[in-house]
Amino acid sequence: MTHADEQASLEGILKDEILRMYQEVADNPEAEFHFFHGRPAAEMFGYAPEWLERAPAGAVDSFAGVGNPHERAALKPGETVLDLGSGAGLDAIIAAWEVGPEGRVIGVDLNPSMCLKAQENLATTGVTMECHEGRMEDIPLPDASVDVVLSNGVVNLSFRKRRVAEEMFRVLRPGGRISITDIVSGRELSQSIVNDPKLWAA
Ligand SMILES: C[S@@+](CC[C@H](N)C(=O)[O-])C[C@H]1O[C@@H](n2cnc3c(N)ncnc32)[C@H](O)[C@@H]1O
């Protein structure tokens, strides 16, 4: 097996685990996970209490981010925002409140049923978001089409992080901004961690 074949096979295993794990957070948020999620996670990351009160319970309960990308995004009314790995939609909903009716929020998620879930959650909020099935490694948007890229706990899931960064810069308009919260390790991870799809997917 060549290195490329091996990588493609590992990427396929990881994709299946990512689909399974985040689907479970969306369908069964009350189940046990070995990462923070839902309202306790959002509170810990400093999401404004009024956002969490106002957002639909489905989006709050299935929130699976690792930080608060809104803190530095400084979204302005009228802007176009891309939420990469939009999941059950909490970050997209908050972005939609911030950019207002003149703005536009576009979600992209690997898992088409996440887009359906996010749309279901958004339906009760009066705000809208487009959601596209797609991968952050091949963002299904034209060049220079968004003002801000948001992402919360998603880039660490990719095998091809450099490619993700190139894609973010491709879709950003000149002068655009990126606000990401993610996981980085200050030391090299052991092979037993790197080779465990459950740990990588989480
Ligand atoms: C950590 S959650 C995102 C949290 C979300 N922002 C929220 O408000 O709850 C991860 C999401 O990223 C999606 N995802 C994982 N890998 C992806 C990829 N390569 N491209 C696009 N989306 C991906 C998963 O399907 C999942 O819905």
Q: Residue 118: CB within 6 Å of ligand 1?
A: no
Q: What is the DSSP string of the chain?
A: --HHHHHHHHHHHHHHHHHHHHHHHHH-TTS--SS--HHHHHHHTT--HHHHHHS-HHHHHT---SS-THHHH---TT-EEEEET-TTSHHHHHHHHHH-TTSEEEEEES-HHHHHHHHHHHHTTT---EEEE-BTTB-SS-TT-EEEEEEES-GGG-S-HHHHHHHHHHHEEEEEEEEEE----SSPPPHHHHT-HHHHH-
Q: What is the mean pLDDT of residues 40-62?
A: 96
Give 148 Cα–ligand 1 centroid separation in angstroms: 17
Res 197: pLDDT: 74
Cβ 135 vs Cβ 46: under 8 Å: no
* 6 vs 47 pLDDT, higher one: 47
- Closest ligand 1 atom to the C-alpha of 135? 20
Query: Residues 17-47, buried b or exposed e (16+ Cβ, 10 A)?
Result: bbbebbeebbeebeeeeeeebbbebbeebeb
Average the pLDDT over 104-114 and give the result: 95
Cβ atoms 152, 67 nearer than 8 A:
yes
Ligand 1 within 6 A of CB of 58:
no
Distance 64 CA to ligand 1 centre (A): 8
* Burial of 143 from C-beta contacts in 10 A (0-12 / 13-18 / 19+): exposed
What is the structure's pLDDT at 185?
85
**Does the pLDDT value for residue 24 go beyond 90?**
no
Cβ 135 under 6 angstroms from ligand 1:
yes
Chain segment 129-144, per-residue pLDDT in tens: 999 999 999 999 999 9
Higher pLDDT, 188 or 197: 188
CA 93 to ligand 1 centroid distance, Å: 15
Which residue from 44, 51, 70, 109 has its CB within 8 A of the most atoms of ligand 1, so it is best to mutate? 109
* CATH code of the domain covering residue 146: 3.40.50.150
Question: Residue whose CA is closest, atom 14 of ligand 1?
Answer: 85
Q: What tens digit of pLDDT does each residue of 61-90 get?
A: 999 999 999 999 999 999 999 999 999 999
Q: Which domain holds residue 72?
A: 3-201
Distance between CA atoms of residues 142 and 55, nearest Å: 30
**Atom from ligand 1 closest to the CA of residue 66:** 1
Structurally, the chain folds into a number of domains equal to 1
29 lines ligand 1 (CB under 6 A): no
